[in-house]
Structure 1
Amino acid sequence: MAKAKQLEVLNALDVAKTQWYHFTAIIIAGMGFFTDAYDLFSISLVTKLLGRLYYTHPNPTHPGTLPINVSAAVNGVALCGTLAGQLFFGWLGDKLGRKKVYGLTLVMMVFASLASGLSFGHTAKSVMTTLCFFRFWLGFGIGGDYPLSATIMSEYANKKTRGAFIAAVFAMQGVGILVSGVVSLIVSSGFEARFKPPSFEEDPAGSLTPEADYIWRVILMFGAFPAGATYYYRMQMPETARYTALVAQNAKLAAADMSKVLQTDIGADEDRLADIVKDKKQQFGLFSKEFARIYGLRLIGTTTTWFLLDIAFYSQNLFQKDIFTSIGWIPKASKMSAIREVYKVARAQTLIALCGTVPGYWFTVALIDVIGRWIIQLMGFLMMTIFMFAIAFPYNYWSQREHRIGFIVMYGLTFFFANFGPNATTFVVPAEVFPARLRSTCHGISAAAGKAGAIVGAFGFVYASQEKDPAKRDAGYPAGIGKKNSLIVLGVINFIGMLFTFLVPEAKGLSLEEAANENQEEEVTDERNNNANVSSV
């Protein structure tokens, strides 16, 4: 096997000590992920309020609820946009460069966040339609942030702490989830203190004050501001050296950009770059046999594990309010005003995020370069399987009042091991194990597979988790398999994800070129040259 050649600028990045520019890149890229998570998960905090505001319940003694199809659309349409954005911007990031399209994704997120809160219409259907329209484009911008942020951070980082840096960007998702809960708590408690609405049982009409319509709008719009604050700094980041040198083939500009970043002189290595790309025709594409031979199994591994993980992860996040209601931790809607219900749902999500979700992310940041990506992902899937089964099989036991705290602890642990596990590693690994010219595209494909799983979770779980209630069925609600059986299914999915983890390579301690096996390309070229020489003899 021919030894892979390494440019001086890339070697300088690989061995660079942790510097301020690393943390700057984490903050700039991470703020996009903060917005991603805030926007994707804040909708679950206000869907019950939307139901009360715009729809009446079939049973007049109950508060209004979103029809099952509208609930699925409101929760899932942003995920559909995210999937499309991951594929499109992932491909575009390899064609035009990471930086050129990085700002566009942020602008889309800011605009669509504000527009979502300004959704308009004269009827419930028209308001939900415009909300879904803007949330699709919000998701489209969010989708672009996945491959671009991961790729930029991986190409800026050194090989010793690269996993921690990429994971730290992704950990901002946990902060976004937490802040969405905190903002909802502040907004709902402020409105409640001002208007003091009674519960639905006490006064059905008075429990839904006109001012409640502002609550969901303020919550959705808030996500635009942290992202907008980082736009200028995102545009000041230079293009990554690996794209400039290996894809754009401009070693001089790559060296100049990174000399400013690292504050040291770096040689241009134009002659060495010419040697690396001299056989450019042999740089195979995504749909070639060579790609399938070298990278096919790892692409199957990254896409499949992300797909399976997101079925479980998004199902749990988007519908945890329904599970908490079913075990009695959140009171029945009829016992509360509309504003109070937002507060209760937000409090539950905030507690789970604070105790399980956020710590899991930062455990990954601390340990990913110590014990490796593969072990963390395998362990995470295994523990998620165990805890999911532990709350699913004795579901009736956990639903009893005296056991609810135990249920919440077990449920929180599934979130902890999702984030100290595959939810983080499925984001990190695709940014490391594919060649530079296809890195953003392959990460986008892997992430899009994940969002396909999220869509299955968002649309499928909302139907599957419906209890077999004849009264609901007669009123037009579908009969599902119930929450207990749905949780069992999610446990099985986690177990299958653990099995597919065996297709995922380990990248700990390797340079991106080593982790991506890019020297295999030289091996292919050498073999062909040798065969040609033998034939000529």
Structure 2
Amino acid sequence: MDKKNKKSRTTAFFNVIFSGAALMSDGYQSGAISFVNLALSKIYGDVVFNDTVSSRLSYAMFVGCVVGQVFFGFFVDRIGRKAGLVTTTVLVILGAAMSAASSGVTSEGLLWMMVISRGVLGVGVGGEYPCSSVAAGESADSVSPGNRGKLFVMVTNFMIDFGYVLSAVVPVILLAIFSEDRLEPVWRLVLGLGILPPLSVLYFRVKMGETAHYKKNALKKQVPYLLIFKRYWKRIFAASFTWFVYNFISFPNGVFSSVIISQVASGQPMIITAAWNILLYAFYLPGCISGAFLTDKIGRRKTLVLGLVSLGVVGMIIGGALDPLSQNCFPMFVILYGIFLGLAEMGPGANMGLIAMEMGPSSVRGTCYGIAAAFGKVGATIGTVAFGPMKDNLGLRAPFLVSSGIAIATGIFAWFAIEDISNEALGAEDVAFKQYLKDNGYDTSSMGLDGHTDTDKAEVTSIHQVSKTDDKL
């Protein structure tokens, strides 16, 4: 390996690592709000901190995420991967700091400041999705050819899941230090420590370079969105709908996990509830790892469908046997609940970001990804808003039964609607996309950061791998 190729591969390696690392913030902040909801309900009571306020605090971040995903999806294509990564990192740090420092003349004022702060945080976290995932996915091929799926999942979704686990561990440590009688410093530190993951990668992101795919295929002006829509709308719709359903199911169960455990194990001290949450979130990790290995072995679509149908079956079991599980065998309830969440990570959790990253060409990859991810966060928002009323009016078994039925139906949809993309297809799709633009009268001479569209022989010979799918688009 010559020095130039070795340097290029080293650059790609660090691009992958530092692109995905800050996604830990998403998992941490999404998981931390579960404990914070429980703590604030203990501090302020049901009159001030009712279901409406709890849901508002939870979905504020999701609404911000939708804004961040759509905006930074366009930003990362038009301005650049590096600029997007640095900007979102700063927003996450700012939003986390504001959340931890929330204050007000009244309790309602403090809670409203926290809602606004979580919205700012959400814009940054949402922007992380297209910026981090696209940069990591485009660099993965240079680091480990043929293993893009596995590497992508481990540096993106695994980091998110690891953030969830940390969000369960930190409250237990802080409760042991401060006790249940001093909850204010506990919830503030829980939120404030979310600053550390983005802060730790800020310097390295400033030093990062653009990915090779983006340098070659950047499309910064006169973007033919109508042509892009005609070619990719089916892929975007399939990914957006499936991601919507996945987040509708998974996020409320993650956000309200402490509340669910507290309700099922009523009367237990808060530190015990928080400790059970560690076990629950720990199931995310083996679920994600198994999905990472399966996605390159059996394909994205099969892994996705396997996860959706399996979690649907387990959710039906939990919903059907909730009373005997909660009354006579609480540990088994937590284990089944963990398997339910782990299967969600194995299937859609590990594959939705990967499918969205791969479905479009490098020129508009961030835009396509951002749209699909935004629909996912809309699903998370609606699911979070609906969870409280559903639980209160229909009982705790209702969210499990409804989620399970939807998951199985979506698995059937995904089997027919999601298209498998091979590990070799990114470069080939870029070539096919340029040819498609030329065939429709678009001047491609300005594409690329250097103003040229030369392609290497490997990409030209691989165009035949995607030509068979053109009729489907």
Shorter-chain TM-score: which interval? 0.7 to 0.9
Deviations 1:338-382 (A, max 9, x none): xxx1x233212211122x111111122233222211111010001
- Map residues 37-116 of structure 1 onto 2, 5 A cutoff: 37-55=27-45, 57=46, 66-116=49-99
2:357 matches 1:448: no
2:275 matches 1:347: yes
d(CA) in 1 for partners of 2:369 and 2:433?
A: 20
Deviates more, 1:89-98 or 1:484-493: 484-493
Say whether the 8 Å CA contact 1:326–1:399 is kept in structure 2: no
d(CA) in 2 for partners of 1:364 and 1:243?
A: 27
d(CA) in 2 for partners of 1:360 and 1:344?
A: 24
Deviations 1:463-506 (A, max 9, x none): 2111xxxxxxxxxxxxx222212211111221232123121211
- Map residues 154-173 of structure 1 onto 2, 5 A cutoff: 154-158=137-141, 159-170=145-156, 171-173=158-160
Q: Which residue of 1 aligns with 2:426?
A: 512
- Map residues 382-393 of structure 1 onto 2, 5 A cutoff: 382-393=309-320
Deviation at 1:31, TM superposition (A): 2.0
d(CA) in 2 for partners of 1:353 and 1:177?
A: 6
Deviation at 1:18, TM superposition (A): 11
Q: Which residue of 1 aligns with 2:463?
A: none
Matched letter for residue 312 of structure 2 = T
2:399 matches 1:486: yes
2:203 matches 1:232: yes
Q: Which residue of 1 aligns with 2:224?
A: 285
d(CA) in 2 for partners of 1:212 and 1:488?
A: 34
Query: Which of 250, 262, 267 does residue 313 from structure 1 map onto?
Result: 250
Deviations 1:55-87 (A, max 9, x none): 3x46xxxxxx72111011111111110111000
Q: What's the TM-score, normalizing by structure 2?
A: 0.86
Q: Which residue of 2 aligns with 1:261?
A: none
Matched letter for residue 419 of structure 2 = P
d(CA) in 2 for partners of 1:368 and 1:142?
A: 25
Deviates more, 1:440-449 or 1:93-102: 93-102
Higher share of residues assigned helix: 2
Query: Which blocks of at least 5 consecutive residues in structure 1 are unaligned?
Result: 1-11, 59-64, 198-208, 250-279, 467-479, 530-537
Deviates more, 1:304-313 or 1:499-508: 499-508
Number of corresponding residues: 434
- Map residues 456-475 of structure 1 onto 2, 5 A cutoff: 456-466=382-392
Q: Which residue of 2 aligns with 1:470?
A: none
Q: Which residue of 2 aligns with 1:297?
A: 234
- Map residues 208-227 of structure 1 onto 2, 5 A cutoff: 209=181, 211-227=182-198
d(CA) in 2 for partners of 1:295 and 1:405?
A: 46
Q: Which residue of 1 aligns with 2:169?
A: 182
SS at match of 2:256: helix
Say whether the 8 Å CA contact 1:150–1:427 is kept in structure 2: yes
| Structure whose CA Rg is larger | 1
Counting aligned pairs with the same residue, the percent is: 26
d(CA) in 2 for partners of 1:387 and 1:439?
A: 35
Q: Which residue of 2 aligns with 1:499?
A: 412
Q: Which residue of 2 aligns with 1:143?
A: 126
Deviates more, 1:319-328 or 1:96-105: 319-328
Say whether the 8 Å CA contact 2:38–2:259 is kept in structure 1: no
Q: Which residue of 2 aligns with 1:469?
A: none
Deviation at 1:425, TM superposition (A): 0.5
Matched letter for residue 176 of structure 2 = S
d(CA) in 1 for partners of 2:216 and 2:431?
A: 14
2:264 matches 1:327: yes
Matched letter for residue 304 of structure 2 = Q
- Over 3 Å counting, the alpha-carbon distance change for 1:393 and 1:89 in structure 2 is same
d(CA) in 2 for partners of 1:225 and 1:147?
A: 21
- Over 3 Å counting, the alpha-carbon distance change for 1:506 and 1:183 in structure 2 is same
d(CA) in 2 for partners of 1:517 and 1:98?
A: 17
Deviation at 1:165, TM superposition (A): 1.9
Deviation at 1:291, TM superposition (A): 3.1
- Over 3 Å counting, the alpha-carbon distance change for 1:181 and 1:292 in structure 2 is same
Query: Which blocks of at least 5 consecutive residues in structure 2 are unaligned?
Result: 443-473
d(CA) in 2 for partners of 1:520 and 1:136?
A: 36
Q: Which residue of 2 aligns with 1:410?
A: 336
Say whether the 8 Å CA contact 1:48–1:66 is kept in structure 2: no
d(CA) in 2 for partners of 1:110 and 1:292?
A: 35
Say whether the 8 Å CA contact 1:304–1:500 is kept in structure 2: no
d(CA) in 1 for partners of 2:434 and 2:13?
A: 33
Deviation at 1:186, TM superposition (A): 0.8
Say whether the 8 Å CA contact 2:291–2:347 is kept in structure 1: yes
- Over 3 Å counting, the alpha-carbon distance change for 1:232 and 1:520 in structure 2 is closer
- Over 3 Å counting, the alpha-carbon distance change for 1:526 and 1:51 in structure 2 is closer
Say whether the 8 Å CA contact 2:213–2:362 is kept in structure 1: yes
d(CA) in 2 for partners of 1:31 and 1:447?
A: 18
- Map residues 335-374 of structure 1 onto 2, 5 A cutoff: 336=269, 341=270, 343-354=271-282, 356-374=283-301
d(CA) in 1 for partners of 2:368 and 2:438?
A: 23
- Over 3 Å counting, the alpha-carbon distance change for 1:52 and 1:527 in structure 2 is closer
- Over 3 Å counting, the alpha-carbon distance change for 1:155 and 1:180 in structure 2 is same
Matched letter for residue 440 of structure 1 = G
Q: Which residue of 2 aligns with 1:253?
A: none
Q: Which residue of 1 aligns with 2:448?
A: none
Query: Which of 22, 26, 29 does residue 19 from structure 2 map onto?
Result: 29
- Over 3 Å counting, the alpha-carbon distance change for 1:31 and 1:520 in structure 2 is closer
d(CA) in 2 for partners of 1:439 and 1:304?
A: 18
d(CA) in 1 for partners of 2:232 and 2:133?
A: 19
